[in-house]
Structure 1
């Protein structure tokens, strides 16, 4: 007598597997991989911070050990802050970075708004020009930039660094912000226009608040290269009044003898602002990077 369909048992291969085994192992592997990458990325920073407060002998004896009562030394910080104009260098880097960051975010957001919202002649050509700005490094035009700076009498000024970093960061800012502006619902903009709101108010009061994660992402991606750059400060503004933090660190590095206490102390003072700003904007940065990944 044939058995009823309800009494038949499913084949062994079709039985559902216990929940959490496969996805759990995969999730654990991903977390282990990310943890290993995090340790590798943070190891150089931790090594600099640990050895910055140790004596020179302790640095060479055991660079991986934590400072104790015998090896603790702040001679590097004393030398950097007392014997050099490090505070002035720090102020120059702050002015250059914040100035270029403001211009990049302002002009980049406005250019992205124009390229995505309005249809005008040459729009595709301008977008292609911005794409070339990402693919071609700005350092290839160093000679032309130097010649232009000499003609405009901008050599050894902070203005030339702000302009160069603004030109360097604008293409990426326009590309990222354009993608986010396209995701803003058109109904919001149309409703504002029906209420008589001007285009500038729509841009600043409707669009910008909705793309804050993208703005934070652009800020981090453009702030770090400008702060850490050595190439253009060395070529365009190497004088003492316009020297930046990265360029100021080089004075402790000699051909035969390097003052490692001062180098590590200056690197610590230079990296702390970036770490603090990254910690403040990390949530917005992650939201900007993962936006649109999950629908």
Structure 2
């Protein structure tokens, strides 16, 4: 089989474009972190300059960690995000297994119904969701946010996981049935281990919107005990005076966990995206 030779010129162009978009995406994060380390006057005087010994100011981090309930906000965001991801992956994988494995009436219709969730924003149903949470007495609870985020993320999870499940060998599953394994045993012991790369892809794509969301925490869980990091940062935004040091410090601290998780899962993300590209 002849080897495929790459054009050096095209490689340089492609890498240059990728580097440009990487800088474009990372620049706002870098600006936020840099300015969180500077005094208020230096932020407005030279927002793109690096902090110097004269402009270095950590009062924003002191305000966030000492004068606010940031640790509680952070814990709420972590609990809600991780719980929503676990529910999304579990229920999404089970639904995708049923849709891709079994042939039944309205199979295609149900798949299209879930796909509609990719095109219809869940925020259009905010009034109905709020009414349901009030009726269930779940307002100002973390459970309300977890349920909403699972519902929000399921269409993506089902769409991605069902496509991966269709590429799995049917002989492996049939061999498990011949050996007397139940459908649950086949799913959890044979299918789930093979879906780990795609599950990582689903987790990465869904955790960022959940972590950064401001809409539903503001509507469903605005109390002090259930505030998330994104909503907690609003504490430092005033009508007349805004503590920009604290706002930028809060945003910097809220960025780091997601950035760390993305770096941890990046290898699995790339593997999950490319696993079906080459047969």
Q: Indicate the residue corresponding to 1:254 in structure 2.
A: 238
3-state DSSP of counterpart to 1:242:
coil
2:185 is equivalent to residue 201 of structure 1 = yes
Secondary structure of the corresponding residue to residue 69 of structure 1: coil
What is the CA–CA distance in structure 2 between the aligned matches of 1:106 and 1:144, rounded to whole Å? 25
1:29 has 2:13 as partner: yes
Determine if contact 2:164/2:276 at 8 Å carries over to the other structure: no
Q: Which residue does the alignment assign to 1:125?
A: 109
Which is worse superposed, 214-223 or 189-198? 189-198
Q: TM-score, normalised by structure 1?
A: 0.91
2:60 maps to: 76
Structure 1 residue 20: Cα displacement:
10
Q: Does 1:174 align with 2:158?
A: yes
**Separation in structure 1 between the aligned mates of residue 135 and residue 91 of structure 2, nearest angstrom:** 25
Between structure 1 and structure 2, the one with the greater Rg is 1
68, 72, 75: which one aligns with 1:88? 72
Distance between the aligned counterparts of 2:147 and 2:157, measured in 1? 15
Superposed counterparts of 1:215-254, under 5 Å: 215-254=199-238
Structure 1 unaligned blocks of 5 or more: 1-18
User: Deviation of residue 255 (structure 1)?
Assistant: 2.4
Per mean C-alpha deviation after superposition, the further-off stretch among 185-194 and 88-97 is 185-194
Q: How well do the aligned residues superpose, as a CA RMSD in angstroms? A: 1.5
The 1:129/1:75 distance shift into structure 2, 3 A limit, reads same
| Alpha-carbon offset, residue 257 of structure 1 | 2.2
* Match for residue 90 of structure 2 among 106, 126, 129: 106
For the residues of structure 2 that align with 1:267 and 1:289, how far apart are their CA atoms? 29
Query: Hey, what's the Cα distance between the residues in 2 that align with 1:159 and 1:290?
Result: 35
State whether residues 140 and 226 of structure 2, in contact with CA within 8 Å, keep that contact through their aligned partners in structure 1.
Answer: yes
**Runs of 4+ in structure 1 over 6 Å off:** 19-22
Instruction: Identify the residue that residue 252 of structure 2 maps to in structure 1.
Output: 268
Structure 1 CA distance for aligned equivalents of residues 54 and 5 of structure 2: 51
**In the TM superposition, what is the alpha-carbon distance from 1:22 to its structure 2 partner?**
7.2
Question: Secondary structure at the residue paired with 2:168?
Answer: coil
Taking a change above 3 Å as real, the CA distance of residues 48 and 153 of structure 1, as seen in their structure-2 partners, is same
Question: Which residue does the alignment assign to 2:197?
Answer: 213
Name the count of aligned residue pairs: 277
The 5 Å alignment of 1:3-82 reads 23-82=7-66
Distance 2:183 2:131 in 1: 39
